[in-house]
Every structure is written in C-alpha cells, then in structure tokens.
Amino acid sequence: MKTYLVDKTENTVTIAFKDANLTLITPLMKALYDDEDVELVRYIDKHPELEDRQLFVQVKKGDPIAAISKASDAVADYYSGISKE
C-alpha cells in the first residue's frame, strides 16, 4: 500500500491510499480520534475501483501530518507489542 498527499493547509491534510483496505485505516482513525489535538477525522471512499480511499484530518493545533505520523506510530507499536510506558 502506498500513500500520497492530496491536499494540505495549515491545519488540515488529505492523504490517499493506493490499494488500501480498512484493516489499516480503521485503527489509524481510532488513534487520531484519541489525539486531543485532532479536531476532525473523515474517511472518504467514493468508488473503490475508480478512486483511491482518502483520509481527511483537521487539527486544533500543531501540524496535521505530525498527527498522522504520531497515530501511525501508536498503531505500529500496538500491533508489534511494543510499549513506550
């Protein structure tokens, strides 16, 4: 699966996933919802055979790409069994 940037503003970002399924996107969205700096998370799925699935993230403060990176690390740590506590 590959990701690419669709759109970015100061407090929003839209990324797309080539050949993605919800197995990865769902836990990533959960981790983003758990971040107190994230205001809005939306999954965009128009027609899976014609367009790539997308994720829209809006933050209250900070960088939206950093929020996705932080959420990605949390998901990776959870599924690998690594605890940072």
Q: What is the spatial distance between Cα 45 and Cα 16, in angstroms, rounded to a whole number?
A: 10
pLDDT of the residue at 83: 58
Per-residue pLDDT in tens (0 to 9) along the chain, 85 residues: 799 999 999 999 999 998 877 788 899 999 999 999 999 999 988 876 778 899 999 999 999 999 999 999 999 988 887 655 5
Q: Exposed, middle or buried by CB within 10 Å (0-12, 13-18, 19+), for 84?
A: exposed
What tens digit of pLDDT does each residue of 38-58 get? 999 999 888 767 788 999 999
Entry pTM: 0.85
Separation between Cα atoms, residue 33 and residue 50, nearest integer Å: 28
